Structure 1
C-alpha cells in the first residue's frame, strides 16, 4: 500500500475506484462500458500478476492460481449478505483462517538483504509493525530470524514467511493469509513507496499487512462501509470500525494515518486470546 497507492475495488456492481491513496491496482468485478458485470475471462485478462505469477486481488491479497482467482470472481458476483458486525477474520469453507495457538507464538520471518540500502529500515519497520499486534495480546509473537536474511525467499523452510523487495509500482506492499501455501507466504514491499507515504507511517503500513498474515480481512468489505465490497468469506469479531487499521481510508474510512485502534486490539484478542 502507499499514499499514492493507485486503484482498488469499489463494489461488485460499482466502478473501479481511482483515488490518490488506494492500496493497489487490483481485480474488481466492475461493470463494463455497457453496464454489464465482466466475465471471468475479462477479469482474468485485466488482473495484475505479481513477480511470482500470482494474481493480486482486493488491493494487497494474492490469488495464487487460476482456481483461486475463479473463487474470488464467484464470490464477487454473488449476492452480498447483511452481516453487520466485526473486525473480521477470513474464513475458508466456513472455518476461521488463523494460525494454531503454538504457531501464533512462533511466526518466524526473514527480511531479504536484496533490499540493499533500504534493508535496515525495512527491518525496523517490520519490527515496529509486528510490535503493534504483539502489544495487544501475548498469544501472538512475530520472530525475526536475521540468520536467514541472505536466503530470504518462500523456498526457505527455516522461516514461516519471507519479506522481500519488489520494484512494481502497483502497490506499496502485499501479504497473505494463514491458509496460503508456503510458496505464497511472503510480504512484498516497495521500499521507496513505503518511506514516501505521507501520514501513513512504514510501521502502520506493515502492521496492516501483518494483519492479513494473522487472518484479518479488509474492514471495508462489510456493508456499513457502503463501498469496496470484496466477498462474504469472513466472520465478525468486533463492531464495525471505520478507523480500523484494516480499513482503506479511500473506502469511506475515517482514519487519515492508518493507526491501530482499540477495536483492532480487541479483535486480535478475540481471535487468538488475551
Structure 2
C-alpha cells in the first residue's frame, strides 16, 4: 500500500457539558440529544425516539449468538445483520426496514466476523471475511446486496465508510484510506503508539474525522491522519463510539457493572475527559422511564 499526504481537514470540536433530563411525557433522552437511537438490548434490536421517549422492539434477537452485529444506514431507512450456522460455515445476511420487516437476504460461506457496514448509498455491505479457499487469511470484504464480492483488503482489523464511498481501515501497519473504487488504499497514520490495533471505527457525518477505540478508551483523528487525540479515560471500558446525526455528540457504551454496557452520550470534548461510572457528569446515561439502557453493540443515532 502507498503512503500519501491528504489535504488537511479539521474537526471543529465543541467544549460544553450536557445534562441528562427526563422527558415530560415519561420518556427519556440525553439532554440536547435528538433523533432515533438504535441499539441491541438483551432480547431485541430496539429503536428509541430520543426526544419523545417512545421505544419499539424491531427484531427479536434473544436467540442470536452475536447480538452486536447490526448496522443502520445513515439515512435511517434500513438495517443489516447476519447470523451464522452452528458450524460457522454458512452465514446469512438479512436486510430489514426500520419497522423490522425482512426485505432481502444473501448468504456467504465460511467465517464472518465483526459488524457489517452499509455503504453510504446502501448498495454494498462490508464485513470481515475468512473464505474457505484462502483460510486462515482474512479480508475486509465488500459485497453487493445479492452477495457478490466486489472488493477486499487483506489483514484489516476494522473499517468504516466515508460519505463519499471511500473507506478508512485499520491494520497492524496503520490507518489507511481507500480510493472510491476500493481498489487501493494509502496510509494515513501509524498505530505503533497504541497498545493494540485501533478498532470500532465510526466516521463523522461530514467525513472530517473518525472515532475509534484503543485499550478500551475512545479516541478521535482527523481524516488526513492528523490530530490524534484521546477523548475519554476511566477505570472501566468505554466501547463502541458513534457520532450523533449532526456530528456534535458521541454516543458510546460504558461497561462497568459486569452485566450492562450502558449507553452514554457526551458533547465532543476539547481535551481528554474522565468518565465516572457512578456519575452523569460529562457523559450522562440515556434513560427510558428512569431506567438505563444496556446495549450489546454500537448505539447508533439516525
Q: TM-score, normalised on structure 1?
A: 0.27
Higher helix share: 1
Greater share of strand: 2
Structure with the greater alpha carbon radius of gyration: 2
Structure-2-length-normalised TM-score: 0.25
Select the structure with the greater relative contact order (CA < 8 A; seq sep ≥ 6). 1
